Amino acid sequence: MLPRASRLRSSADFRATTRQGVRVGRPTLVVHARLLSHSPPAAESTRVGFVVSKAVGNAVTRNQVKRRLRHLVAPMIPSFPQDVHMVIRALPAAALEPERVADDLAGAVSSCLKRLGTPQPGAGSPA
């Protein structure tokens, strides 16, 4: 489960991230990411939101896809840089090919962070 502080909840934040951020698509999902330009005194934590439309399936299927995505993203969040907002939009293939979702998510998140110019999750500092 994602902690409350890590959830993207505001529709304005969803809109800004999808319109102003970078986008990386994979067969099962699309990841939008935006680096916040302001630097408040207390750095804002990374926030992640999910979009699973009716095109993915009925309510049961959509909730399964959403739970799977939350489960996959939760352990990744501590390795993300601060001040990043991310929206993960599931495509219909996410319900049809659930075994691909983990690889697609990892690849898309890595590509988004690279395009934003931030350090990659899991990448150690050069020695």
Tell me whether strands 29-35 and 22-25 are parallel, antiparallel or unpaired.
Answer: antiparallel
pTM (predicted TM-score): 0.85
Determine the 3-state secondary structure of 68 from DSSP.
helix
pLDDT digits (tens, 9 = 90+) for 60-78: 999 999 999 999 999 998 8
d(CA 95, CA 121): 26
Query: For residue 17, what pLDDT is reported?
Result: 93
Is the model's pLDDT at 85 over the cut of 80?
yes
pLDDT digits (tens, 9 = 90+) for 10-45: 999 999 999 998 999 999 999 999 998 765 545 567
Please report the sign of the dihedral spanned by the C-alpha atoms of residue 78, residue 80, residue 82, residue 86: negative
